[in-house]
Each structure stands twice: as C-alpha cells, then as structure tokens.
Structure 1
Amino acid sequence: MPKVLMTFPEGKHKVLTMSYDDGVAADRKLVSIFNQNGIRGSFHVNSGLLGFENRIPKEEAAQLYEGHEISTHTVTHPTIARSPKEQIIEEIIEDRKSLEKIAGYTVRGLSYPNGSYNRSIKEMLPFLGIEYARTVHSTGDFSMPDDFLEWNPTCHHNRNLMKLAEDFAGLHKKQYLYMMYVWGHSYEFDNDQNWDLIENFCEFIGNRNDIWNATNIEIVDYIKAFQNLKFAADSHFVYNPSAISIWLSVDNTIVEVKAGKQINIID
C-alpha cells in the first residue's frame, strides 16, 4: 500500500491566513499591504454598522475585499453568549443575507463578536450555514484546527508576531502540516501607531514559494475536499468528486488529483 499524505496546493506543507474584524476604514490600508505581499485573509464584517463612523461604506466593500473573503461578524456585534437564541439566529442570518448581496457569493464563515460563544451557539451554527467560526484564544503554535467551529488562531498581531513569523518560516519537516493564523482589528494599528509591525511582517513572510496564502474559507474547503476523496481500499487509485484540485504526497512524490477526476496513484 502506498504512503499517502495530504498536502496543500502544489505540495506545500505550510499555510498562512489572516483574520480581521469589524470592517473599519483602516482595512483599506491593511488590504493594500496584504495585496502588495501576496497575503490573503478574511474580513469579518458587521453589515448593520457599515457606513457608520469609521466603518467601510456598503458600496465600497465588494471592491475593497476582492481577492479576500467577506465573512460574518453578526449584524450589530452583540455579546451573543448573553443573547436569546432568536436574536442569535437573526444576527447571523441577516448578516449573511446582507453580506451575500455585497459579496455576490455564499458567506459561510464567522468570527465570534467580542469572542463570545458557547456550546449551544456552536451547535446552532451548521443550521445557519456557518462552516467555521474563529475565537480569540491564541494558541501560539502552528497546529491545524481540530474543530472549525472553535477555530483558535495562532496569535493576535500584537503578540510576538515577528518571532512567530521567523519560527514559521523556518519549519521544514514535511511530515507535518503547519498553519499560521493571525487575527486582529486594523484600527489597532492606528491606535498603537505600529503600522510598521504589519508591514514588516508581510514583507518578511509574503511571496514565499513554500507557503500557501489562503483565506479562512479556502482552508476549510480544501480540508473538506481532501476528506471527501474516494480512495480504493488498497489506495491504488482515488476519485475527487469536489470542484477543486487536491494535492497528495504519494511515497514522497507530489500528485495532483484534479476536480472531478479519478487517477491511479500507483500502476
């Protein structure tokens, strides 16, 4: 039987993803920095607050976040663990409806507003069309998530960002998959006067050929597509029913399983 391992696209074993909340005006500068360095992320937006005070106007959002992911953050940013379930449902569903009109695609992600959630909310999310939800509990490591509805990031950008980036860049053992997941709010760079922090980070870690730069939902979709591969009992061939290619390491050789195709893993 061949030794088959999942890899990220093109055989990569590291993925970087960014996650920023609230849809504020400072996102303009942050998105520009990301784009200059080939870095991609997810922006979790309160649709009911767009256009107010320092928030991005609704009519600007689709163009601004193009190439990244627009995700839910509830309509009005309540502490949902203290809210009745009827309001939680409305906050998430109505945010999805509004953001989908802006984005033009199905919105399937969430970051918990105020970091607030509980088991009951997690159990509710799949019925509301939510496939992942980010917490604010930083792990300080590069592990892959065990539970996408309680997705703990690596770090907030103000916590050892450059040291973690250096450690992440140096990872080389390909028997593992590694993820660096950074979260925060772009207005914090204005408040703390430390835009140089994210600029230096992006210049250092961006545009590397051994790191997959992905949005949050792309990571979810990729892992689910791998899990949905249909392997022969002896792993000699595999069928990919998904709409995206999946890359495998087969006896240390990188193999692409294209969308909708079946391939022989070994002859």
Structure 2
Amino acid sequence: MVGLFNQYGVKGTFHLNSGALGRENVVTREEVKSLYNGHEVSVHTVGHPHLAQVPRERLIAEIMEDRKELERLVGYPIRGMSYPFGTHTSEVADTLAELGMVYARTTASHSSYHLPERFLTWHPTTHHNNSLLERAEYFLKLPYWQGIGLFYVWGHSYEFDHDKNWGMMESICEKLATDSEIWFATNIEIYNYLQSIRQLQFTSDYTIVHNPCAQPVWINVNGDTVKIEGGTTQKLA
C-alpha cells in the first residue's frame, strides 16, 4: 500500500496498534519510521478494544501507551487516531480531547465530500470496497463553486490481499493523480490547514487580511485564488 501511494504521490494516514507490531504479517517496530516516511502514523490503541465498553482508566491507557510508543518510533508528535471497530460515544470523544487528540476517524461512511463537522468524530466518505471508482469519478466532477471537497477513503491494506483487488486501488490512485487540482494530504495536514484558515484575520471591509500562522493558505478573492503567506498582512483589493 505504501509503495502504491508513493508511486502516485498519494498521502495516507496509517493507524497502528503498537501491541501488534512484529506479529505475523504485521510491520515491525524497526520498519515503522522508514516505511511510513512522508505519510502519517496515527494512534489506533495498543490492543484494539471497543473503547465505548472499557473502563475510563483502560481507555486512557490504550490511547496514551499507543501514542507514546508510536511517537518514540516515528520521532514526531501524534495528535490523532481512528476508533477500533469504529465504535465511540460522545464521552469517549470528550476524553480524547482531554488526552490531546485533535481528530478521531470513525467507520460511518457518509458517501459525500464535505469537511467534518467535528474532528473527534470524523466520518469518511467511503470504504474502499464501496463503489470506489464511481465515487472517485463524481469527486473529480465537483464544481469549483462548491468550495473544498474532501474525498476520504478508509480501509485496511490486508483486505486487498484477501479480496484480490489491488488493481482497483491502483486504478483509483492513477486516476486521481492525473488531476493537478487535487491536494493529497494526511489527516493531520488537513486538520492543521483548516485551523490555519480559520485563524485568518480580516479588516471589517474584507480588503486586508493577516495570516498569524506560519503555514501559507489559499483563499478565493472575487473568483481568483490568492495565496496568503504565513506571518504576512496583505491587501486584497
């Protein structure tokens, strides 16, 4: 999967159970940093329990121990995760926020292309076995005036071996890679970018904007795409 993504310039977020690393058919601790270089490694708990069914103490331990081990392996802060089995409650999501998680992906596909309403219950567009080609083609036809469209595919790499459909995934990557307007991004890159956009400061007449963040962002000004460099104040009209 990583090799396929690298070939076509696609980005992925890989959710790992640190307690399973090194088992049969699972990557080893020594492989993690180099294998996922250029992508994102994210929390998936140590032992993959139903988080809505465990005591709060174990919930905290499953998240934090996984995070600590994965951060030790990759050498950068990890601030997001996906829910084991996709199960969660509002109480679980609130606890994740207390633990420093800024996003958590569910398995509740909505078949649309909108941004998440709440990052700690981030619902994807579709599973890779659910009419993926048709959804990709629809995504490529989204009109520009609909604003940002997010095509979020989730799944498990082992499923492609089981279903013998690696060719389908390669076709999707190849099709999307031909569109220069698409930004391939990891979960945390999407989260960070949207936070930067939301921190833009405009004058009351919208003719001047200040970007207090280090990250550059792009906005639409009277039909034109304008880049707002990090730490700058720019006239828009």
- TM-score where L is the length of structure 1: 0.86
Number of paired residues?
237
The 5-angstrom pairing of residues 90-169 of structure 1 reads 90-169=61-140
Paired with 1:216 and 1:68, the residues of 2 have a C-alpha distance of 10
Decide which of 257, 261, 264 is 2:228's aligned counterpart.
257
Contact 1:39 1:207 in 2 (8 A): no
Is contact 1:50-1:57 (8 Å) kept? yes
Residue aligning to 2:184: 213
Q: What is the rounded CA distance, in whole Å, between the counterparts of 2:176 and 2:205 in structure 1? A: 39
Deviation digits for residues 141-183 of structure 1 (CA, Å, limit 9, x no counterpart)? 1111111111110100000000111111122233422110000
Instruction: Give the whole-Å Cα distance in 1 for the aligned partners of 2:58 and 2:22.
Output: 23
SS class of match (2:150):
strand
Query: Which digits, 9 at most, give the CA deviation of each residue in 1:46-99, with x for residues without a partner?
Result: 112111122100110111111110000011111111000111111111111111
Distance 2:194 2:231 in 1: 16
Deviation at 1:207, TM superposition (A): 4.1
The CA deviation string for residues 201-252 of structure 1, in whole angstroms up to 9 with x for no partner, is 1111124201111111111001111111111222221111112101111111
Counterpart contact for 1:37–1:203, Cα < 8 Å: yes
Q: Which position in structure 2 is the counterpart of 1:241?
A: 212
Provide TM-score, normalisation by structure 2: 0.97
Q: CA contact under 8 A between 1:74 and 1:91: conserved in structure 2?
A: yes
Query: Who is 1:44 aligned against?
Result: 15
- Partner of residue 142 from structure 2, selected from 163, 171, 179: 171
Check conservation: 1:225, 1:246, Cα contact below 8 A: yes
Structure with higher strand content: 1
Instruction: Give the 4+ runs in structure 1 shifted more than 4 A.
Output: none
Q: 1:254 Cα deviation (Å)?
A: 1.4
Are residues 1:73 and 2:38 paired? no
Q: Is the 8 A contact 1:237 1:264 kept in 2?
A: yes
Match of 1:89 among 60, 73, 89: 60
Question: Do the aligned partners of 1:38 and 1:207 also contact (CA within 8 Å) in 2?
Answer: no
**Distance in 2 of aligned mates of 1:90 and 1:83:** 11
Structure 2 SS opposite 1:63? helix
- 1:188-207 alignment to 2 at 5 Å? 188-207=159-178
Cα distance in structure 2, aligned partners of 1:237 and 1:175: 24
5+ unaligned residues in a row in structure 1: which ranges?
1-29
Amino acid paired to 1:61? V
Shift of 1:132: 0.5
Query: Separation in 1 of the partners of 2:136 and 2:146?
Result: 20
d(CA) in 2 for partners of 1:149, 1:131 = 6
Q: More relative contact order in 1 or in 2 (CA 8 Å, sep 6+)?
A: 1
Paired residue type of 2:167: D
